[in-house]
Amino acid sequence: MSLHPIAAFDRIGEENAFAVLARATELAAQGRDIINLGIGQPDFSTPDHVVEAAIKALRDGHHGYTPAPGIAPLREGVAADVHRRTGASISPDQVLIVPGGKVTMYMAILMFGEPGVDILYPDPGFPIYRSMIEFTGANPVPIPIREENGFAFSADETLSLITPRTRLIIINSPANPTGGVSPKAEIDKLAAGLERYPDIAILSDEIYGQMTYDGREHVSLLSYPALRERLILLDGWSKTYAMTGWRLGFSLWPKPLLEAARKLAVNSYSCVNAPTQWAGLAALTGPQACVSEMVAEFAKRRRLIIDGLNKLPGVSAIEPYGAFYAFPNIKATGWQAKPLARALLEEAGVATIGGPDFGIHGEGYLRLSYANSQDNITQALTRMGEFLSARKVA
Ligand code: PLP
């Protein structure tokens, strides 16, 4: 007998970044010197006061289940933090504490995806959007994210893709993998256009919302009251407080959807582990200098990597105004993106991700995470330069 999950599992995808990480680790274990610009997580430690809060919670006996939506002080803390950052008034009742930002997209796509409906998502974009849309049987409709548009959403193009079958639109700014930040004027236009479609739900993935550079402002979709009744906001602690391994995120839901999300929590993970929730509260209510210091360091690395990439043969990189990714155009090297990423890892010892791992519109680009030291970034750029000079494609 051969065991087989239902057919939907033939359509589920994954994140190639984890496969690249595994290969990079394998090569390093063989003694190779690998610089990892593939992985999308801060290379900082979680701030001490946050770690201490988790230890204290364990010592204080927070060992049991918590309410499925999260402990009350944390839900209140999230509402206060969102108000501080965006000015939007949120009821703690709308907040769901989840084990990582990813869980919010999982829930939202499960809620709206089924055969016969369209779900719009950014391409290139976080690969799990498309994977989960396909899993549900819904039709994935890519919203092209274009270099000539500064890797911002085009309001006109996004709105032009809406059909009577559209149920959910996924927006992500600041964006993975491009670092693009959609400017206020474009988001204003998009929000105004979406007012014409009151039955379409919106998932706004703002997990990089506190990571912008050169004074570029992050505009939260929470700033548009007309969208609030159908807006699902995805955010969390992974990037802002260097907490990827803790698995902690939060989402804001319109009231009727929160009940559905809470039931999904009860039917799967029950609640986020208690000490992590207390750590999350310490992160929100404690000193915020850890965030600005990390962003200031990323800003220096961003300058280094963008200037360096633009000096490599056949490579050009526009300014990414958010997150911690560069998305250089490599078309003039003559290489296809995935073979180039593979060769850079195997031959030059630099891990990057090929743009097509983020969707069809990612061909011709590489994603480089600059969550690595300035020395390593400099060394990686040298290796890439040597490789590209030596391995010209006719
Ligand atoms: N959304 C985007 C755009 C991301 O890049 C990531 C992680 O890389 C996530 C969500 C998921 O974050 P988490 O690790 O909290 O699940």
| First vs last C-alpha separation in the chain | 51
- Cα separation values, 28 from 24, 351, 384, Å: 6, 11, 18
In short, whether 207's Cβ falls inside 6 Å of ligand 1 is yes
Q: Residues 308, 261: one domain?
A: no
Per run of 10 residues, the mean pLDDT along the chain (length 394 residues) is 90 89 93 93 94 98 98 98 95 97 98 98 98 98 98 98 98 98 98 97 98 96 96 97 97 95 97 98 97 96 98 97 98 96 97 97 98 96 97 74
State whether 163 and 297 are in the same domain: no
Task: For residue 213, give the nearest of 246, 255, 240, 179 by alpha carbon.
Answer: 179
pTM of the model: 0.97
Tell me how crowded residue 339 is: count the other CB atoms within 10 A of its CB.
Answer: 11
Say whether both 156 and 71 belong to one domain.
yes
Query: Is there an atom of ligand 1 within 6 Å of 176 CB?
Result: yes
Asked if 276 and 307 sit in the same domain, the reply is no
Q: Judge if 62 and 35 occupy the same domain.
A: no
Distance of alpha carbon 376 from alpha carbon 97, whole angstroms: 36
CATH number, position 254: 3.40.640.10
Q: Does 102 sit in the ligand 1 pocket, CB within 6 Å?
A: yes
Query: In the prediction, which pLDDT does 15 show?
Result: 87
Q: What is the DSSP letter of 68?
A: T
Q: Is residue 1 a part of any domain in this protein?
A: no
What is the C-alpha separation between 145 and 124, in angstroms, rounded? 6
The residue range of the domain holding 39 is: 7-45+289-390
Domain shared by 354 and 249, yes or no: no
Which residue, by CA, sits nearest to atom 3 of ligand 1?
A: 176
Count up the domains in the chain and report the number: 2
Beta-bridged to residue 201, according to DSSP, are 168
Amino acid at 146: R
Of ligand 1's listed atoms, the one at least distance from the Cα of 238 is 15
Q: What angle do CA 199, 155, 225 make, to 5 degrees?
A: 50
pLDDT for 124 equals: 98
Strands 231-236 and 249-252: antiparallel
| Residue 322 beta carbon below 6 angstroms from any ligand 1 atom | no
| pLDDT on residue 394 | 61
Give the ligand 1 atom nearest the CA of 40. Answer: 8
Backbone torsions φ then ψ of 64, nearest 5 degrees: -100, -175
Residue 2 placed within a domain? no
Which DSSP symbol is given to 69? T
Contact 369, 37 (CB under 8 A): yes
* Closest atom, ligand 1, to C-alpha of 248: 15
Q: How far is the CA of 102 from the centre of ligand 1 (A)?
A: 6
Q: What are the structure tokens assigned to 6, written together?
A: 């239902």
- Last residue of some domain: 285, 307, 341? 285
